Amino acid sequence: MNDREEVLAVLRRITDAWNSGDAAAYARQFTADADYVTWFGMRFTGRAAIESSHRELFEGPLRGSKLSSLDEAEVRFPLPDTAIVVSGGGSSLTGRDPVDEGRVTTVTFVLIRDSEGWVVTAFQNTRVTDPRVAA
């Protein structure tokens, strides 16, 4: 597998873990000190906080939700062991449609390659909105 394929495999593991409601598997894709910014602007620091917050979500308001695939992501490598990924994304609360209206996002991942392979060290999730439309 080349670097791009390995990075996309991390994104597939993230999506699969979310779609199965597995907070531990989701958090394993992040470094121990990762920065994670939600679409509401909340910031979580570290794998433990990512796992804890997602366990709450997967057992509560996001139970049964599904993420869309990130396979069409733009991946670039500014340094040999660093990848930046930007992709459209989104989720469905019902688990039926790929993305619910109002849940379309743009996501940015920064991954590093360590001794175990590629892992996410920073993540930003931003809800796509039209600023010309009143909130």
**Does some domain include residue 25?**
yes
**Does some domain include residue 79?**
yes
**Domain ranges, residue 49:** 3-127
CATH number, domain at 84? 3.10.450.50
pTM, rounded to two decimals? 0.90
Residue 39 to residue 106: CA distance in whole angstroms:
9
Structural domain total, the chain: 1
**Does some domain include residue 133?**
no
The token duo for 62 is 């996001």
Could you read off the pLDDT tens digit of each residue along the chain, which spans 135 residues? Answer: 899 999 999 999 999 999 999 999 999 999 999 999 998 899 999 999 999 999 999 999 989 888 887 768 999 999 999 999 999 888 778 766 666 576 778 899 999 999 989 999 999 998 887 777 755
What is the number of other CB atoms lying within 10 angstroms of the CB of residue 94? 10
**Does some domain include residue 93?**
yes
**Does some domain include residue 132?**
no
Choose among 31, 28, 17: nearest CA to 110. Answer: 31
